[in-house]
Amino acid sequence: MNFFLKLFKLLPPELAHSISLNSLKLLYKIKILGLFYSKTNKDENILFCGMHFKNRLGTAAGLDKNGDYIDALGELGFGFLEVGTVTPLAQSGNLKPRVFRNYNENSLVNRLGFNNKGVDYLVKNLKTRKYQGVLGVNIGANKNSVGDERIKDYLICLEKVYKYADYITINISSPNTPNLRDLQNNENLSILINAIDKNIKELDIHIPIFLKISPDETDVTISNIISHVDNSSFSGIIATNTTIDKSMILNEKIKLIEGGLSGEPLMYKSTHCLSYIRSKSKDMHLIGVGGVLSKEDFNDKIDAGAGLVQIYTGFIIKGPNLINEVLGN
C-alpha cells in the first residue's frame, strides 16, 4: 500500500482519488483485496443513536460522493460509511483545479462545490449494495438553487434516500457553494428545520437525522444551532466541515487559495467546536470529524464528546493503514 500511496502523490489530486478508489473497487471485485491490505476485524458492538456499529470509525462525506465504492470501502474495516454530498440534480462542481495538497502540513484545500451525479444515480447504488454495515447519506442543495428552492432541494433528497439509508446528514456547512452557510443563521435554520421536521412526519421517517456544521461559526451561532436541533426531530450534530480559516498553516501559497481547509490544521478548531457543543448539551448525539490522522486524534475526538469519528483527509494522506492504526489496541 505504501508504494501505491507514493505513486498517487505524483498524480493530480482528483485523478489520484479516482484511480485509487477504482483500484480498490477492482481488487474487491476480483477478491484479492486481502492480498494488499489486512483489515482489522475489531468488533466493539457500539450502540449509538439506536444503531449498532462494530467500531466508532467511519468515512466522512466526500470520499465517495456517488456511492460507487460502498462495497469496496466496506471491506477495509470501517465501522460505518457516509456517502455524498448528493444534490437533486447532477452538477459538475466548481472549475478545476479545485483540490490542492499540502503534504508538509498534512492538509488539503478543496473547492469542489458538491460535484456529484445526482440523487437518482446514488439511489441506484444504494439499492444494489452488498455492504451490510451502517450507511449514512449526506445531502445538500444545488448551486443554482436560491431561496425556497434550496429548502426544497433538501426535501427532495430526503424523500428519495431515506428508505435506503441508516441515517441522513443535512449538509449546510460547505464553504464551496455560495451562501450555503447562511442556512446556519438563526432565521434560515429555523425555516429549514421546520420544513424537514414536517417532511419527516409526513413520510413517517424513523432513521436518525444529523446536521453538519461549520467550524467557523461564533459561540452564539453554535448555541442557536444546538437549541434548534434540541427542539427538532434531528438526532444530533456532525462537527465539523472544513474551515475557511487558514491562519494556522505556514504555506503562504496555500493560504491564498479559496476553499475549505481540511487535515491536521483543522484538528484543534473542529475538536474545540465539538467540546463546546458537548458543554452546552450533555445528551446530544455527536459525530466528530476534522483533522484525524492518528489514534491520539481519534481519542481526542471521543474525549471531546463524539460518539463516532469520521476520517477523510487522513485516509487520503495515510491510506487504509490509518484504519488499523486508529483501531489497534
Contacts with 163 (C-beta within 8 Å, 6 or more apart), sequence order: none
Residues 21 and 17: their CA atoms lie apart, in Å, by 6
Q: Which residues of 85-99 are buried (b: 16+ CB within 10 A; e: fewer)?
A: bbbbeebebbeeebb
**Neighbouring C-beta atoms of residue 223, cutoff 10 Å:** 15
**Neighbouring C-beta atoms of residue 201, cutoff 10 Å:** 10
Q: Which long-range contacts (CB under 8 A, 24 or more apart) does 318-321 make?
A: 318/5, 318/293, 319/1, 319/2, 319/4, 319/5, 320/1, 320/37, 320/39, 320/76, 320/77, 321/1, 321/2, 321/37
Residue 170 backbone zone (phi > 0: left; psi -120 to 50: alpha; other: beta): beta
Residues 269 and 17: their CA atoms lie apart, in Å, by 26
**Contact assessment for residue 115 and residue 122, using Cβ atoms and an 8 Å cutoff:** no
238: three-class secondary structure by DSSP = strand
Bridge partners, residue 237, by sequence? 211, 286
Rounded (to 5) percent helix, strand, coil in the chain: 45, 20, 40
- Residue 23 designated active-site: no
Catalytic residue among 20, 174, 232, 270: 174
Q: Could you give the residue numbers annotated as active site?
A: 174
